[in-house]
Amino acid sequence: MSNHLKFFIDGAWVAPATSALLDVIDPSTEEPFTAIAVGSRADVDKAVAAARAAFPSFSQASRETRLDLLERILAAYNRRSEDLAQAVTREMGAPIQFSRESQVGAGRAHLKSTIAALKEFSFSEMRRSTRIVREPIGVCALITPWNWPLNQIVCKVAPAIAAGCTVVLKPSEVAPISGVIFAEIMEEAGTPPGVFNMVNGTGPDVGQVMAGHPGVDMVSFTGSTRAGIIVAQTAALTVKRVAQELGGKSANIILPDADFEAAVRQGVEGCFGNSGQSCDAPTRMLVPADRHSEALEIARDEALRFVVGDPQAEGTMLGPVVSLQQFNKVQRLIEAGIDDGALLVTGGEGRPGHLNRGFFVQPTIFGHVSNDMTIAREEIFGPVLSILPYHGEEHAISIANDTVYGLAAYVQSQDIDHARRVAGQMRAGSVYLNYPKWDTFAPFGGYKQSGNGREYADWGIHDFLEIKGVVGWGE
């Protein structure tokens, strides 16, 4: 744990400006397993100064130089993959096999897709006699969440470097150790001093300071809509660009011509993955009213398959949610579902009966949910699925779009043309037809209160670029 109490600034591990520490809790045991230093304004100032000093040189680095750096980062990432997986399992409770394949795998996939995108990316073009140039925006503050720590770190760091920006990263203080290891990877890869900096700490002490810092040109934030609003308000005072990937309450429309049983079962699996802690999870399942009872039976049967327990144990499918705060929130919302009159099909309040510690949530299914209920409106971020009946396709589409969020939507039909027509009416940044394979070259981001900007591959690179028109170039 030699670097847990340090920050990575200007190419070196340095002591923080203050002595404040924060325990990192293992959510499966409720016990701390390490601690991190808590940063302050002085630490942010130091990191931003390093990034500003590095920017003039790195912004002029060739495409080949940046590609070579990203390739070295990928190689170091692969060498540390087991360390990363163990860290994610300890800090946020993901089952170890899920950490290896999905959590660590996501970061690897994004590094590869960013490298591929950078090879083909066009940084300039001619329009009539004007040359359009895409240039790095500058120093970027990157604020990442705890639920998919490596996915979001790489989703921001890799395209920022591809664009020629320098960065200051603040990983989530709830799950920070994977971020420390990632900083070690950046060091091992020979990242030039000041190009990548990392400061740990809380949102108010570090995140907001970064967002409002006059030396920062852009903020890229992933987290809750509530926190995103604070970041945007803080950043507005210095008129910097803000890219945000925020909350979601994604609808999963199972059309009458879908393979019904398979669609329901896969919908439950999609909702429960990562213990329900995914912003784009299909948490509202919409089924034809005349098959609602059938859907509840299938969903209940599928939910009972999920093995909840020790994330290090073989066969565990669901670990704990990340923290006591998150556990209490999920319990409150399960209680709200019961109080609002939804039918509790399986699961419910409290831990699974065989567990007496840890922030474990019972896999929970609600039926007879209406879209005005709390569990259909609020992002729960736990293994809790709401099943809503609909009367006709227009009704289903209306329910799906009746939300302040617009991150993702799902449509199931054996008629692909039918699914495509419905997808065209979804007010969401991503629409997934018939549970497709994950595509790291597709744009990812949301409509409405789910944020702005897009991540993944070349979409992410664009977010970190300014556009300059050189008029008269061709005259």
Among 275, 280, 289, which residue's Cα sits nearest to residue 387? 289
- Is a pLDDT exceeding 70 seen at residue 410? yes
In the predicted structure, residue 1 carries a pLDDT above the cut 70: no
Strand partners, 411: 253, 433
Q: Which CA distances in Å does 364 have to 292, 385, 462?
A: 17, 6, 40
**Catalytic residue status for 279:** yes
The pLDDT, as a whole number, for residue 2 is: 84
47 half-sphere exposure, CB direction, 13 A CA radius: 35
CA dist., res. 269 & res. 281, Å (int): 10
- Asked if the structure places residue 404 within a domain, the reply is yes
From CA 470, how far away is CA 129, in angstroms rounded? 9
340 shares a domain with 199? no
Q: Which of 173, 245, 302, 455 is catalytic?
A: 245
Give which of 271, 259, 274, 256 is closest to 434, Cα–Cα: 259
The reply to whether 1 falls in a domain is no
Residue 269 lies in a domain: yes
182 and 330 both lie in a single domain? no
Cβ partners under 8 Å of residue 65, min gap 6: none
The pLDDT of residue 18 is above 80: yes
Distance CA 295, CA 310 (A): 30
Give the domain extent around 286.
251-440
**Mean pLDDT confidence for 156-183:** 98
What is the mean pLDDT of the segment spanning 125-143?
A: 97
**What tokens were used for 325?**
């705060």
377 and 308 co-located in one domain: yes
Q: Which of 91, 155, 279, 455 is catalytic?
A: 279
Beta-strand ranges (E) seen in 182-296 are: 196-198, 218-222, 241-245, 251-254, 284-288
> Residue type at 61?
A
**Shared domain check, 151 and 213:** yes
Residue 337 placed within a domain? yes
What size, in residues, is the chain? 475
pLDDT at position 145 is: 97
346 phi, psi to nearest 5 deg: -160, 160
Asked whether residue 148 falls in the same domain as residue 286, the answer is no
How far apart (Å, rounded) are the C-alpha atoms in residues 342 and 386? 9
* Cβ contacts of 276 within 8 Å, gap of 6 or more: 283, 321, 330, 361, 380, 381, 382, 383, 384
Using DSSP's 3-state secondary structure scheme, residue 215 falls into coil
Residue 209: inside a domain: yes
Average pLDDT over residues 334-360: 97
**Residue 196: CATH number of its domain:** 3.40.605.10
Query: Is 138 found in the same domain as 29?
Result: yes
Q: Hey, is 420 helix, strand or coil? A: helix
Answer yes or no: do 192 and 323 share one domain.
no
Q: Contact 231/221 with Cβ under 8 angstroms?
A: yes
Interatomic CA distance for residues 37 and 16, integer angstroms: 7
Residue 264 is part of a domain; what is its CATH number? Answer: 3.40.309.10
Residues 6+ apart with CB under 8 A from 2: none
Percent pLDDT > 70 in the chain is: 100
Q: pLDDT tens digits for 170-218?
A: 999 999 999 999 999 999 999 999 999 999 999 999 999 999 999 999 9
d(CA 113, CA 159): 10
475 included as an active-site residue: no
Instruction: Please report whether residue 372 resides in a domain.
Output: yes
Tell me the C-alpha distance between 270 and 277, whole Å: 11
Who's near 9: CB < 8 A, 6+ residues apart? 43, 46, 47, 50, 197, 198, 199
Co-location of 241 and 255 in the same domain: no
Burial class (CB in 10 A: 0-12, 13-18, 19+), 15: exposed
Question: Reduced to 3 states, what is the DSSP secondary structure of residue 176?
Answer: coil
Residues 225, 282, single domain; the answer is no
Select from 445, 298, 303 the least CA-distant residue to 382.
303
Instruction: Say if residues 173 and 34 touch (Cβ distance below 8 Å).
Output: no
Q: To the nearest whole number, what is the mean pLDDT of the chain?
A: 97
Tell me if 2 is assigned to some domain: no
Residues 221 and 274 in one domain: no
- Whether 179 and 110 map to the same domain: the answer is yes
Q: Which of 359, 1, 353, 449 is nearest to 146 (CA)?
A: 359
Close Cβ partners of 406 (under 8 Å, ≥ 6 residues apart):
248, 427, 428, 429, 446, 447, 448, 449, 450
Distance separating alpha carbons of residues 462 and 467, to the nearest angstrom? 10
Confidence of residue 56 (pLDDT cuts 50, 70, 90): very high
Residues 306 and 188 in one domain: no
Number of domains in the chain: 2
* pLDDT one-digit tens code per residue, 224-234: 999 999 999 99
Looking at 295-381, which runs of residues are DSSP E strands? 343-346, 364-367
Tally Cβ neighbours within 10 Å of residue 433: 16
pLDDT digits (tens, 9 = 90+) for 241-251: 999 999 999 99
User: pTM of the entire structure?
Assistant: 0.96
